[in-house]
Amino acid sequence: MLEGGGALRVEDLSVSFPPRKVLDRVSFTLAAGAFCGLIGSNGSGKTTLLRSLLGFVKPESGRLILPGAIGYVPQKIQFDADLPMRARDLVALGLDGNRLGLPLPSRRRRAAVDEMLEAVNATDFADQRIGNLSGGQQQRVMIAHALIRKPKLLLLDEPLANLDIRAVAEIVFLVRQICSTHGITVLVSAHDMNPLMGAMDQIVYLVHGRAASGRTADVVQTEVLSALYGYHIDVIRVHGRVLVIAAGAADEWPAKLDAHPAHVAAIP
């Protein structure tokens, strides 16, 4: 694992959990400050790819070149309503949670936390228990927690899962805005690409551990996705949006449709 100058490069990354090959020679490059969707259905290898980037999974082969420090938002954490932690406490843990000793009151620490809470529009509920916040509010706080150390790369594992439509739109807008402003490279995993379409600079589309990557419009195409799936895929434009469905599925919905949301996409 190397550190690159702002860009993220994944070269021929393969990961196996015998007998299964979870990632098969996955390669892509994200420019510094790019916003990229990591799209795939459950079991496609999204989490394994993220965990490889985090250093938790040892690749069988391949090379990773990271842009520097990584911020990470894991899959939804179930916060207990009785957890004695305010939103601002959780963000502060992102700043110095690895240090030994009790946290001493510090103006600089408080200012850094306040600034990050404001950046994610969480000031109004900064003093509420994290367990009492809505899913969207908790996700904003987790993003602030991940960003407070000003990482070069932000990894978000299914951050939109279980959120309502409005919260999804807010989170996508927020991450896009923060990362554009601060030049942070973002990789967001999702099984449904629809909410990310307007925000993505790039897409990494994973199917059974194999990836296609590039500009969204270049990847979400019949030829590219058919090659990836290993059978014919139709990319259909409906009302200005794009649906990705298995060939012939429209006649026999849902029997033939590979109906997971990952395979139904819309491009504005």
241 — phi, psi (to 5°)? -115, 170
Strands 241-246 and 233-238: antiparallel
DSSP-derived secondary structure for 137-204: HHHHHHHHHHHTT--SEEEEESTTTT--HHHHHHHHHHHHHHHHHHT-EEEEEES--GGGTTT-SEEE
Is position 192 an interface residue for another protein (rule: CB under 8 A)? Answer: no
Question: Exactly one of 17, 56, 173, 231 binds another protein (CB under 8 A); which one?
Answer: 56
With CB under 8 A as the contact rule, which of the stretches 9-17, 96-104, 217-225, 252-260 interacts with another protein? Answer: 96-104
Count of CA atoms in the C-beta half-sphere (13 A) of 59: 23
Is position 68 an interface residue for another protein (rule: CB under 8 A)? Answer: no
Instruction: Give the Cα separation of 15 and 204 in Å (integer).
Output: 17
With CB under 8 A as the contact rule, which of the stretches 72-80, 175-183, 189-197, 229-237 interacts with another protein? Answer: 72-80
Question: Exactly one of 78, 238, 254, 268 binds another protein (CB under 8 A); which one?
Answer: 78
Is position 122 an interface residue for another protein (rule: CB under 8 A)? Answer: no
Number of residues that bind another protein (CB under 8 A): 39
Q: Which is nearer to another protein, 40 or 71 (CB)?
A: 71
Q: How far is the CB of 68 from another protein (least distance, A)?
A: 13
Residue 238 near residue 267, CB atoms below 8 Å? no
Is position 83 an interface residue for another protein (rule: CB under 8 A)? Answer: yes
Q: Which is nearer to another protein, 62 or 74 (CB)?
A: 74
Q: How far is the CB of 160 from another protein (least distance, A)?
A: 14
Is position 54 an interface residue for another protein (rule: CB under 8 A)? Answer: yes
CA separation, residue 136 to residues 7, 18, 76, 105, 167 (Å): 29, 37, 10, 29, 5
Tokens of 194: 């629809």
With CB under 8 A as the contact rule, which of the stretches 76-84, 186-194, 199-207, 227-235 interacts with another protein? Answer: 76-84
Residues that bind another protein (CB under 8 A): 54-56, 70, 72, 74, 76-86, 89-90, 93, 96-103, 127-129, 131-135, 138, 145, 162
